């Protein structure tokens, strides 16, 4: 893989460190969800309770700053594709008929 865009100053975090961070995040979310379930079963309305979300996301899961390129148009999925072929067929037949008449 190309090293061109990686800066020499900042090294990526160690794999064990990333795994520990992800584990802590999962543990935090699960414990908060248990607290939410306890509050709902105690009588709170589900709309009143705060539902936890992800506070930490690994760098490779973050959205890229540039939008992804659009796929190129597939001509056989275009509505006019069959019409184009029938127009070409009719034009070829008209040329053939014009050639036979002369």
pLDDT tens sequence for the chain (102 residues): 566 666 666 677 788 888 999 999 999 999 999 999 999 999 999 888 888 888 877 777 777 666 666 777 777 777 776 677 788 889 999 999 988 876
Number of domains within the chain = 1
The CA distance from 36 to 46, in Å, is 9
In a domain, 9, yes or no: no
**Phi, psi (rounded to 5 degrees) for 92:** -65, -40
The pTM of the full predicted model, rounded to 2 decimals, is 0.47
Q: Which domain holds residue 24?
A: 15-59+76-101
In a domain, 43, yes or no: yes
In a domain, 95, yes or no: yes
In a domain, 3, yes or no: no
In a domain, 66, yes or no: no
Give the dihedral of Cα atoms 10, 15, 16, 17; nearest 10 deg.
Answer: 40
Task: Provide the CA 11 distance to its chain's centre, in angstroms.
Answer: 27
């Amino acid at each position: 893989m190309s090293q061109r865009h990686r800066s020499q100053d900042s090294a990526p975090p160690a794999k064990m460190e990333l795994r520990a961070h992800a584990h802590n995040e999962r543990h935090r979310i699960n414990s908060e969800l248990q607290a939410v379930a306890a509050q709902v079963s105690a009588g709170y309305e589900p709309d009143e309770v705060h539902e936890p979300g992800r506070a930490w996301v690994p760098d490779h899961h973050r959205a890229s700053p540039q939008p992804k390129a659009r796929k190129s148009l597939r001509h056989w999925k275009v509505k006019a594709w069959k019409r184009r072929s029938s127009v070409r067929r009719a034009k070829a037949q008209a040329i053939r008929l014009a050639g036979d008449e002369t």
